[in-house]
Amino acid sequence: MEVALSAIASDLINRLTSFLMKKYMESTSIDDKMKRLKELLLRVHIVVEEADGRCITNPMMLMQLKMLAESMYRGYYMLDTIKYKSPKDEEVRKFCTMSVSLKRSRTIFDTPRSPADDNELEIVLNNLEAAISNINEFVVLLVGCERVCRRPYDAYLYTDNFMFGRHAEKQQIINILL
């Protein structure tokens, strides 16, 4: 009888430790994915912000910019949903806060619990990595576009004491008088 109880207890302890190890390894891999997602979002955000400050006339560049922005916003959405997801099981939460350090329990519960969320995170990461792989050519072409002037109205409405459309009329009057 004691042998059976010992075997059952050791089996339960082995299962519990393997479950906790698996949960810990999943949380660290999710943490790595979240870190990678943040880095990719930063790179894409910089390029999209710079492109918004340029006068882009090429429709294909505009389409690529739109795809970059969509993947960026989808990544931010995924980051927010994973970051602020509430835990589903209070008993597991109490158990993990007692057995694991506070930071680890927070990262365990801030990570996606369903495989669908994990798959969606993987899809978002793949989309962002594909967008980043093609971003070098976009940046090179973006440098050729001129910047959009973002000065106050008085800086570009009045140039050399001429109102914006009056310079051509002044030149016509000077030509008539000469």
Query: What pLDDT, on a 0 to 100 scale, did the predictor assign at position 111?
Result: 47
- Are the C-beta atoms of 38 and 79 separated by less than 8 Å? yes
Question: Any bridge partners for residue 163, and if so which?
Answer: 158
Amino acid 89: pLDDT: 43
**What pLDDT, on a 0 to 100 scale, did the predictor assign at position 57?**
87
- Return d(Cα 176, Cα 170) in angstroms, integer: 10
How do the domains of the chain map onto residue ranges? 29-147
Within 8 A by CB and 6+ apart from 146, the residues are 54, 55
Q: What's the pLDDT at 14?
A: 75
Q: Which pLDDT score, from 0 to 100, does residue 161 have? A: 54
Low-confidence spans in the chain with pLDDT less than 50? 89-91, 105-112, 154
pLDDT, residue 91, reads 45
Q: Which of 81, 75, 53, 51 is nearest to 63 (CA)?
A: 51
pLDDT for position 176: 84
Separation CA 15–CA 13 (nearest Å): 5
> For the chain, how many residues are written?
178
Q: Distance between CA 71 and CA 44 in Å, rounded?
A: 9
Q: Which residue bears the tokens 């970059």? A: 68
Give pLDDT, residue 90. 42
- Vertex 65, ends 142 and 153: CA angle to 5°? 70
| pLDDT at 37 (0 to 100) | 92
Question: Token digits for 118?
Answer: 């994990």
